[in-house]
Amino acid sequence: MDMQNFNSFFPDMEELPQFPIFALERKKLRDGILVRSPNWLGDAVMTFPALRQLKRMLPQECGLMVLCPAGLAPLFRTLDCVDVVLALKDAHAFMSAKEKQEVREHRPGIAVFFNNSLRDVLSLQGCGIHQMYGAAARFRSIFLKRSYQFAKRQDFILNHPHQALKYLAMVQASGAPEWDGTMPVMTPDPLHPPCDHVRNILEREGELLLLAPGAAYGDAKRLDGEKFRAVAEAWLNEGGFVAAVGSKNESPQTADALAGLPEQDVYDLAGRTNLEELICLIQRSKCCLANDSGVMHLAAAAGASGVAVFGSTDPVATGPLSRKWKVLYQQQKCSPCFKRSCPRGDRRCFAAVSTEEILEAVKEIRSKA
């Protein structure tokens, strides 16, 4: 299946779910709106358009607050549309007394849920917030002021609309203005400069290719390392240099992608960057090659150009939010299956995307960046 038509624009705004509009009452806002973010990096990035629109609808005296896992707090602190970030020590547990008190001190009058947790609804209700909005999920609608019903994801078909449009639909139903395609500005904290090994890469001359060969969800989302390696080798032959990024757990994938390449021109950064340093590397790069992963979403949102290769997941529902990215995907009868590991064992969805296609896509993006 030819997926070139996916590359004209992500997402298709004509598919924005429509709900009756009931504008939030100004007097109910108190000191602002609290948003409970998703727990995964990629999902969190897909909320950025909705966060920007929420900020635009708030009165000047009110703030936009984000409640998120501690690991994502540095990410949200880089956004120009977020005023307060509250970090959860354990995002999969009920909020502690201290965390609840911190929420109360910031006096949000309204909570918007971009996750599907019933537990979080009950926790914020315990903080004295009774104006709560979110998707209908896990029997929590009874506690919400307003809930929104979305179609369940189906396997083996391409699911519409894009996930970012679901978040946008909820905030527009609350009176937020229409999204114009602009993402929030991401600015790493200048008081926390990059460490020496990252700064050396940022200051090096030449064009940087950033590789993201991992995917925390599972190996069914990971392109073969030899294909990353072939692209890296071609990039080096053109005079550039390469860095592979990922979490510490993804070090086998980054090592595989760089195996046998000249050590002086490649950098294995798995587990060696924080989120702010990763953003700096993304903004320094000429091109990024990634699987469907948190790094892919982050790179697209941060303004980088890149190529994303999809296999077991759905490029319609979770493609990069950028016109500067090219998506490669060859749908098979068994895809998208959304499995962590390939049930067939052959990952034919990735095998169908050739090394030559990837090389050509990277060459095209590089020429435009």
Per-residue confidence (pLDDT) for residue 191, from 0 to 100: 86
C-alpha distances in Å from residue 251, one per residue of 42, 134, 197, 281, 312: 19, 37, 17, 18, 21
User: For residue range 74-99, what is the model confidence (pLDDT) as tens digits?
Assistant: 999 999 999 999 999 999 999 999 99
For the full predicted model, state whether its pTM sits above 0.85. yes
Residues 19-70 pLDDT 10s:
999 999 999 999 999 999 999 999 999 999 999 999 999 999 999 999 999 9
Helices 275-284 and 294-301, interaxial angle, to 10°?
A: 60
How far is it, in rounded angstroms, from Cα 222 to Cα 66?
30
- Bridge partners (DSSP) listed for residue 231: none
Q: Which two tokens stand for residue 142?
A: 């009874």
Q: By C-alpha distance, which of 56, 47, 29 is closest to 169?
A: 47
Give all domains of the chain, ordered by start, each with its CATH number. 7-172 (3.40.50.2000), 196-368 (3.40.50.2000)
Mention every residue, 6+ apart, whose C-beta is less than 8 A from residue 175: 21, 22, 23, 24, 57
- Interacting residues of 190 by C-beta distance below 8 A, sequence separation 6+: none
- What's the confidence (pLDDT) of residue 78? 97
Q: How many residues does the chain have?
A: 369
CA distance 169 to 164: 9
pLDDT of residue 10: 63
**Coil vs helix vs strand at 96:** coil
Q: How many CB atoms lie within 10 A of CB 74?
A: 20
Write the DSSP string, 283-340.
HH-SEEEEESSHHHHHHHHTT--EEEE-SSS-HHHH--S-TTEEEE----TT-S---S
Walk along the chain (369 residues) and give the pLDDT tens digit of each residue: 334 444 444 678 889 999 999 999 999 999 999 999 999 999 999 999 999 999 999 999 999 999 999 999 999 999 999 999 999 999 999 999 999 999 999 999 999 999 999 999 999 999 999 999 999 999 999 999 999 999 999 999 999 999 999 999 999 999 999 999 999 999 999 888 999 999 999 999 999 999 999 998 999 999 999 999 999 999 999 999 999 999 999 999 999 999 999 999 999 999 999 999 999 999 999 999 999 999 999 999 999 999 999 999 999 999 999 999 999 999 999 999 999 999 999 999 999 999 999 999 999 999 998
